[in-house]
Amino acid sequence: MTNDELKAYLLDKFPSAEITLGTQYVQMIVASADLHQTATLLKDAKETSFDYLICLSGVDYPEYMEVVYHLESVSLRHVMVLKVRTSDRANPAIDTVSDIWITAKYHEREVYDLLGVHFNNHTDLRRLFLEDGWGFPLRKDYVDEIRIVER
């Protein structure tokens, strides 16, 4: 599907989501409660069949925490960006998608490690790179007076 077709399809299927056409990919923002259901539909529906999770990244915005999923369909070769936001910046928690795309299990651990986003129902949510009790370095309010040298 081209980006426009995909956008039309998604608008039709997910009326509650916020869907825009970015410079590169179709972008869909869903509520954190709908995430798991939406992701399942996106993977299972024949028209979309997003079976390959390219990249899962967390972004810390001033007002909210965002997790971004870059999805691709191997058979149909279209790409979209799925986003979910949570306004609770102190203890963000969203549902895991690791049961849908296995690779998310490890990407989510990375996001948890570096940004402190808690993924509900994740089977093995431990820190990946850092020690326990380190803090969440990719958050904008992270301070480390010893290791970070400001110029």
Partner 1 sequence: MSEIKEIMFNSDRLATDEYLVNMGPQHPSTHGVLRMLVKLEGEKVLNIQPHIGYIHSGIEKMCEAISYPQIIHLTDRMDYLSAHMNNEAVALCVENALQVEVPERVKYIRTIMDELARLASHQLWWCVMGMDLGALTTFFYGLRDREMILDIFEETCGARLTVNYNLPGGVMFDIHPNFQKRVKDFITYFRKKLPEYDQLLTGNVIFRERTEGIGHLSLADAIAYGVTGPSGRASGFSNDLRKHQPYSAYPLVKFNEILDHRCDTLARYEVRMKEMHESLSIIEQLIDNIPEGDYAVKMKSVIKLPEGEFYQRVETARGEFGVYIVSDGKKNPYRVKFRSPGFSNLFALNNMAKGHKIADLVAIMSTLDLVIPDIDR
Q: Which of residues 7, 36, 85, 105 is near partner 1 by CB under 8 A?
A: 105
Residue 70 neighbours by CB under 8 Å, 6+ apart: 25, 53, 54, 55, 56, 57, 79, 80, 81
Report the alpha-carbon distance of residue 21 to residue 81 in Å, rounded.
10
Using rule CB under 8 A, residue 51 touches partner 1: yes
SS3 10: helix
Report the alpha-carbon distance of residue 55 to residue 6 in Å, rounded.
19
Residue count of the chain: 151
Residue 9: CB minimum distance to partner 1, A: 21
Using rule CB under 8 A, residue 124 touches partner 1: yes
Q: Which is nearer to partner 1, 15 or 77 (CB)?
A: 77
Q: Which is nearer to partner 1, 25 or 32 (CB)?
A: 25
Q: Which stretch binds partner 1 (CB under 8 A): 10-18, 30-38, 86-94, 143-151?
A: 143-151
Residue 78: CB minimum distance to partner 1, A: 11
Q: What is the DSSP string of 66-105?
A: EEEEEEE-TTT--EEEEEEEES-SSS-EEE--TTTSTTHH
Q: Which is nearer to partner 1, 12 or 73 (CB)?
A: 73
Question: What is the sign of the dihedral through the CA atoms of 19, 21, 26 and 29?
Answer: negative
Residue 111: CB minimum distance to partner 1, A: 10
Give the footprint of partner 1 on this chain (CB under 8 A).
Answer: 22-25, 51-55, 57, 59-60, 68, 70, 74, 77, 81, 101-103, 105-107, 110, 114, 124, 128-130, 137-138, 148, 150-151
